[in-house]
Amino acid sequence: MAPIDEPGAETPLSERPAYETVAPHAVERTGPLAVLRAVLGPITFIGFLLLKFGKIAFIAVKGVKFFGTAASMLVSVAAYSLFFGLPFAAGFVLLLLVHELGHALQLKREGLRAGAPVFIPFMGAAIAMRDMPRDAAMEARVGIAGPILGSLGALAVHGAAIALDSPLLLALAFTAYFLNLFNLLPVSPLDGGRIAAALSPKLWLIGIVLLGLLFLARPNPVLAIIVLLGAMDSWGRWRRRNDDDGAYYRTVSPAFRGWLAVSWLGLVVALVLLMHVSHVPRPL
């Protein structure tokens, strides 16, 4: 991005950084009215989108109660906009929706009933399965569908960022690549844990170790919750691997395991590369 000239600035262009941080629009928090505007702004914007395009979205996602997710989407957009600005917050939540629609569409293909997507600020989003998968292969297909569609959505945003020379869209694409990559870690309740179940339960241990290292490097309460839930779920699954429910894992065919491993690793590599090319370095 070219340097931006500011009125009255006296710094020569040659001494300015090659890149400048593009910050979301700052919200002036000087009183209750400013905070109220920050919350009502995104709610009004998303409400307008739902009224205008809600029917189209409902038809595109048959069987999923799209309007049941509206309230949680509004809350998430409002929460994110307080820190990152409305444009980024709205785009981020929409990309989360694309990821969840991947799970929803695959659940319908598998003949499984599911609840509507629910968005939780700073935790992401989730879809509750009302019917349990018959085997680990079905669970893995549902698990990988989200990152696949989510990555395609991020790729579309990346293409738009290049075409429009938009730092905002590029930042959204980078963030979506990272979140989809993070979800591929082989530990429950992440999507990668569902994928690993069809490959080898031993992969859960690798996922927990990776999450633990990530938490040590970047302490975060959300990561702590994921590590705890992942450890509990993986331990429960490991104890059941050889009992009567063990057939849940043993019925997966070698051919499917091979396809799943190639797809999973290929998606991981692609996301790492896409994160690299979509990263804009900051000035030193």
- Which distant-in-sequence residues (6+ apart) come within 8 Å of 181 by Cβ? 268, 271, 272, 275
- State the Cα–Cα distance between residues 100 and 147, nearest whole angstrom: 9
> What confidence score (pLDDT) does residue 238 get?
67
Cα-based angle 243, 247, 251 (whole degrees, multiple of 5) = 160
Q: Residue 47: is it exposed, middle or buried by C-beta count within 10 angstroms (0-12/13-18/19+)?
A: middle
pLDDT of 200 reads 77
Mean pLDDT, 10 residues at a time, over the chain (284 residues)? 47 45 40 49 53 51 56 88 92 93 91 84 81 87 94 95 93 94 86 86 77 78 73 70 65 88 91 87 48
How far from the centroid of its chain's Cα atoms is residue 238's Cα? 27
* Residue of 117, 114, 71, 62 lying closest to 95 (CA atoms): 117
Q: What was the pLDDT predicted at 243?
A: 61
Distances (CA, A) of 70 to 82, 93, 104, 151, 199: 19, 11, 16, 23, 36
Q: pTM of the entire structure?
A: 0.69
- Residue 11 is predicted with a pLDDT of 47
pLDDT of 170: 94
Task: Give pLDDT, residue 280.
Answer: 60
